[in-house]
Amino acid sequence: MGRHSRKGPAPKGSDSDSKSGIGTDRAGGRLGRPAAPGAEQHTPSGYGIPPARGGHPEQREPGGGWGVPQQYQNWQGAPGGQRVQTPQPPPRTVAGGARIPGPRREFVEAFDQPQQGRGPQDDPYSSTTTWDVEPDPAFDAYMDGAGEDGVPEERPAKGGKGRTFTGIAAAAVTTVLAVVVAGQVAADNHGHSSAQSAGQDRGGAESPASRSQNRQAPQKGGAAAPAAPPSYRQLMASQFALAPKLKASGKFEAVPGFDKAPGKGRKIRYRVDVERGLGLDGALFAKAVQETLNDDRSWAHGGAMTFERISSGDPEFVITLASPGTTDDWCAKSGLDTSADNVSCDSASTDRVMINAYRWAQGSETYGPQAMLTYRQMLINHEVGHRLGHGHVTCRTPGALAPVMQQQTKSLDIDGIKCRPNPWVYPGS
């Protein structure tokens, strides 16, 4: 804190307080206001400041030192750096005989109590305090004034209690600020921890980590590997949706590709057609035909013959996957009725061996849904057997495997003889 907070008379050569901006006359009154009755009037000094109007009311305190004559406001230097005061005049009086005492001792001591061995380098708050190296005699006299008995009071060395109180106040402010900042940081951390705990207490339902627990982790090197497609045997063991009375477009398309005959013997070339609009996998159907016919348990047994699939040229016959309605039409061309039991046929008067798509997709009650693979093998072997010249045969031994040329789609119990399902021509090979 600077000295401008003190109250006292103006320094020598000035009629105004350069710190506070309040002008005074030498009679103790402020500029622009009449002095007390009988007091001497003076004009403002040479600072160029006009008399103030309507200033703050003058506040006199007990022990104040307003209007000390200038000749008593000088400090004298003494050997050894000590400073002494010149004698000061007796107390002044104003009109009416009022006695004006000198400055209050306790007020002066509060600011000017010396501290031994202290300097700017020893003050931790020196950045906020003022250290005066050179004395200001005029200002010191202005602040000290005369004592009540007219004898100059002893004035301790500068830099006393005032600076001590200033340092203490600065330390208190610094401490308060540190506590406030620490409290704010602690509150922020507590809020963050509370929010995190609240997210955890909600069972992780809103946590990004919990939402990803059930997700498939990506494989090394990029995105998660796609699921492997179902195998041939898996597809052949599955049922497919198809209406039992469906009649599709009646137009056929050859399944593209070529499957070379794998064995020896008589080579039989055939083609595979699929009716448009069925929604079934033609490639799966063509693969099933090729693998079934060339199995050693089938008609290729012992190297008697081998089957080769073509998609162009002249085949010996065409194995055709068609809707129930289209199958009925083509079987009727050879005098066969397939509509009653929704079955397949070899239309001998044509080049087509008709496979009913409903049976291919859904199977039969005699085999059940758990034996779709073996039922489809039986269906191919049975109808191609007709094309090769084989007629129907029934089971004659109860509990035996039914012959492949038995109408197993219709029944496994003929004339009271119940046999077991069998897809192969030579099942024991």
> Domain residue spans in the chain?
232-418
Q: What is the torsion angle, in degrees rounded to the nearest 10, for the CA atoms of residue 192, residue 197, residue 203 and residue 205?
A: 0
For residue 187, what pLDDT band results from cuts at 50, 70 and 90?
low
pLDDT at 233 over 70: yes
What whole-number percentage of the chain has pLDDT above 70? 48
Two structure tokens written together for 377? 């093998």
Task: Please indicate whether residue 112 or residue 365 has the higher confidence score (pLDDT).
Answer: 365
Residues in the chain: 429
Two structure tokens written together for 315? 């085949």
pLDDT at 170 over 70: no
pLDDT in tens, 1-57: 444 444 444 444 444 443 444 444 443 444 444 444 444 444 444 444 444 444 444
Report the first-to-last Cα separation within the chain, whole angstroms.
116
pLDDT at 155 over 80: no
Is residue 111 helix, strand or coil? helix
Q: How far does CA 325 lie from the centroid of its chain?
A: 59
For residue 179, what pLDDT band results from cuts at 50, 70 and 90?
low
Which pLDDT belongs to residue 226? Answer: 87
Which pLDDT belongs to residue 53? Answer: 46
DSSP annotation string for 39-73: PPP----TT-PPPPSS-PPP---TT--TT--GGG-
pTM listed for this prediction = 0.51
Number of other CB atoms surrounding residue 7 within 10 Å: 16
Two structure tokens written together for 64? 């104040």
Which pLDDT belongs to residue 101? Answer: 52
How does 236-248 read in b/e, with b if 16+ C-beta sit within 10 Å? bbeebebeeebbb
Task: Please indicate whether residue 360 or residue 79 has the higher confidence score (pLDDT).
Answer: 360
Q: Sign of the CA dihedral 11, 14, 20, 22?
A: positive
pLDDT in tens, 236-294: 999 999 999 999 999 999 999 999 999 989 999 999 999 999 999 999 999 999 999 99
pLDDT at 306 over 50: yes
pLDDT in tens, 348-380: 999 999 999 999 999 999 999 999 999 999 999
* Contact assessment for residue 265 and residue 305, using Cβ atoms and an 8 Å cutoff: yes
Two structure tokens written together for 402? 């039914």
Q: What is the mean pLDDT of residues 81-93?
A: 51
Is residue 345 helix, strand or coil? strand
Q: What is the mean pLDDT of residues 139-161?
A: 50
Strand 305-310 with 266-275, pairing: parallel
Question: What is the third-level CATH fold of 232-418?
Answer: Collagenase (Catalytic Domain) (3.40.390)
Contacts of 168 (CB under 8 A, 6+ apart): none
